[in-house]
Amino acid sequence: MDLHFEELLGKIMDFIKAEAKTETIVGQQFELGEFKCVPVIKVGMGFGSGGGEGTQPKGVKGEGMGAGAGVGIEPIGFLVSRGENISFLAAGKTSGLAAVFEKVPDLIEKIAIARNRETEKA
């Protein structure tokens, strides 16, 4: 087995280049009622590799290598627009979801009205 660290590192770098792009950090836009929302995501990546070779006293040669990589993805908030107004809603532990509901109470009311209409039709 030939050790090809440069080839291995090249493949890992290609992976990182493919994954660490704008579309990964800023997600696809979606609509929520009259609001347009764009998720913003934090991406972290790490990798490591190692290898070695040696000869035992009886002349037996050995070699080996290994590599690993990890990716972490965490939502950090949303860019929200309504008409000309644009704001950033952080998805923090204490305010993320609460802030979304605070900004869109009329949307929640519209969803409730729509559900009531569906229930009345059934």
The whole-model pTM stands at: 0.45
Give the model's pLDDT for residue 28. Answer: 79
With a cut of 70, say whether residue 93 has pLDDT above it. no
Which of 7-21, 26-40, 44-58, 87-101 is predicted least confidently? 87-101
**What band does 62 get if pLDDT is binned at 50, 70 and 90?**
confident
Q: Name the percent of the chain lying above pLDDT 90.
A: 0
H or E element at residue 46: strand 35-55
**98 within domain boundaries:** no
**37 within domain boundaries:** yes
**106 within domain boundaries:** no
**64 within domain boundaries:** yes
**80 within domain boundaries:** yes
Domain that holds residue 44: 5-88
Composition of the chain by helix, strand, coil, percent to 5:
35, 45, 20
**9 within domain boundaries:** yes
**What band does 103 get if pLDDT is binned at 50, 70 and 90?**
low
**Number of folded domains in the chain?**
1
With a cut of 50, say whether residue 24 has pLDDT above it. yes
**93 within domain boundaries:** no
What's the CA gap between 91 and 39, in Å, rounded? 10
With a cut of 70, say whether residue 112 has pLDDT above it. yes
Q: Name the percent of the chain lying above pLDDT 70.
A: 75
Angle at 98 between CA 93 and CA 99, to 5 degrees: 100
**103 within domain boundaries:** no
Determine whether 93 is exposed, middle or buried from the number of CB atoms within 10 Å of its CB (0-12, 13-18, 19+).
exposed
